[in-house]
Structure 1
Amino acid sequence: MTIEARIRELGNRHRQLDETIQREMHRPAVDPLQVRELKQRKLRLKEEITGLEARAG
């Protein structure tokens, strides 16, 4: 898999996590621990994307 393809894949996962977080935030019984874990996963994906983008130049 090329770096560009990996960046696209991670970007898609990042967007999906964002949508999941938004849905969770609008639920009547928000689980703050689950939202925090989702946000941490989203941040790790963003960091990985940023690193790959730097390598791809």
Structure 2
Amino acid sequence: MDNTIPTTEVVSRLNALRREHRDLDAEIAQRTAEIQADELTVKRLKKRKLWLKDCITRLESALIPDEPA
């Protein structure tokens, strides 16, 4: 039985993760520009952004077909 996720679902998930990654980038830029920036919140946002980048990389890797040995 094949347990792979359909390519369309992977692409859809990738697009959602990329969108969230861009949104976080904008929010981080906005918050760091504030005079009274909450450093803990910014740190958490950056951590979330890195996690999203890892997820994006894994999903992109899953889209590349395996080459036969």
- TM-score, length basis structure 2: 0.79
More helix by share: 1
Q: How many residues align?
A: 57
- TM-score, length basis structure 1: 0.95
2:54 aligned to 34, 37, 47, which one? 47
* Identity percentage of aligned residues: 37
The RMSD of aligned alpha carbons is 0.9
Q: Which has the larger radius of gyration?
A: 2
Distance across 2 between alignment mates of 1:26 and 1:49: 27
After TM superposition, the runs of 4+ consecutive aligned structure 1 residues lying more than 3 A away are none
Aligned to 1:30: 37
Structure of greater relative contact order (alpha carbons < 8 Å, 6+ residues apart): 1
Gaps of 5+ in 2: 1-7, 65-69
Gaps of 5+ in 1: none
